[in-house]
Amino acid sequence: MTTLEPMLRPWTVEEYHRAADAGVFHPDERLELIDGRIYQVSPQRGPHATACQLTEDLLREMFRTGYVIRGQKPLRVGGSSEPEPDVCVVRGRARDFARQHPTGAVLVVEVAESSAAMDLGPKAEQYARAGIEDYWVLLLPERALVVHRDPDASAGAYRTTQRLGENDAVAPVAASGAPIQVSDLLP
């Protein structure tokens, strides 16, 4: 007798949206679709929320005309992934995304208080596959920033990764003349 191993059935973005519209998920649930899997997102604590706000504020100063700073809003990165990055910078204007979420960004920032494994693993792979040129993970417990650049879309990996301490500075690829102190992102 042949024994079949159980298999996961991946979700598409369209199925995920239809399920949400049908009330399958509780309205207060914080969920993300990553590589066809639905993940529950932990509630935000003060340090996480503060780091997100500090990051949004700094990026708004840097990216004014022609860009939108989106905080914890969906980013469609393929047919089976729609994460909600803590902060992302997209080209365009807010109304450009009234009917469909953006499919790319010039910078994505995830703030990791307890989610480092997800942010440095599956999310990094998805962002690399989507060709996101600049992906940052702010590690709150370590007071460090991991900067991912030069995505290899076919491998789902970044060719360059750099870990910066709170006394270091980094400039977004799309605003290379404006460095940010890592400490300015930290609560």
pLDDT of residue 29: 86
pLDDT of residue 1: 62
The reply to whether CATH 3.40.50.1370 applies to domain 43-185 is no
pLDDT per residue over 85-106, tens digit each?
999 999 999 999 999 999 999 9
pLDDT of residue 27: 84
pLDDT per residue over 33-84, tens digit each?
988 999 888 888 999 999 999 999 999 999 988 999 999 999 999 889 999 9
Q: Average pLDDT of 24-33?
A: 88
CA–CA gap between residue 115 and residue 32 (Å, rounded): 13
Mean pLDDT of the chain, nearest integer? 93
pLDDT band at 176 (very low <50, low <70, confident <90, very high): confident
The full set of domain ranges for the chain reads 43-185
